[in-house]
Chains A and B, each alone.
Chain A
């Protein structure tokens, strides 16, 4: 693949940008750079893989065919800035790798993590798949159509207006996914997951000690699972959709609009179907959604269960 690279601007800027304070105090050194890479016509960029353990990543889709990478490096002095490296590797298969390191070998003077930072802002063609990882920095992805995989340790993940297959995982970073259409798999360990306006084939979300809060969710197949956190979901039950909401210790609260027919079954310490007629079958409470005769093969199915907490379900108009 042939790529044209433009070092569009290399200049120092005041320490503002979107670095939120860390490593940008008075007297610190700052370097700002912009690089643009262009594909040769007929060989578009397909995937952008970014590893930035030293700060934030923001990736936004645009209508052009090039990738613009803007970086801010913050450090106590020029020597430390010199350790902060940003490598851009355009691959012939259409993948572009970008990684940052602070690895100066064993001879350098140690510098603490809180004293250095690299923030990266990228504009890429909308149909570029994004594979991005940060540590404690923010990971923001917006206006992209080919999905991707986002990974953080403690940094928050924010996704807005994306489609395609999206996978996110974080240990303790709050994950917010809004206006996402496609197949979504979001996982956290000890942080909350907020889902707003989600559609597409499949939504899988799981947390251990975090809550899952979904609004305007209408994916055809939904699986939400927590070990400890509460799950609340408001959305629309797709025709023939399947929904499995389960928690070990957390309460479950699901409110759905439904235009078709289906069954809902639930079990928990206490099950509340909001006045719907309930049939008991073993430890399951079951109810029918919709009024038409119920051909089970074509019906939607909802399964809700919390082993040590309560379940609430309601059909809303």
Chain B
């Protein structure tokens, strides 16, 4: 049980953190793991374990946001808590700007960006987790990135 926790803790906590924000991430992650451990016996094995856990995480995060209210103001304090980016990032402030921008997106956009771009899952996997068609997934990702671009302004190196 503990091994499974350590295997997935960063993914579950990271996803929850980026979807519901830093203040509620631990609560949601806790909820997810409790459901994982209590539901393992009932896990049907018709999808990968990781897909199942991602699905639990997304659902728990979205449910949490739905209960809390569709949007939540992000305080400066919570932004300051966002982890510093690794040194390899070209724009040292980019990671925290991205984290902050993520928090202002609609929850559905956050979910697809986290699954596809942060976690690196394929559209097929995202569709399975989000329980939508692959096409919907792609168009959601496109819209989400467009919104992020607007929020962040020019971030790429101009030729």
Question: Do chains A and B directly touch (beta carbons under 8 Å) in the complex?
Answer: no
B residues engaging A (CB < 8 A)? Answer: none
A residues engaging B (CB < 8 A)? Answer: none
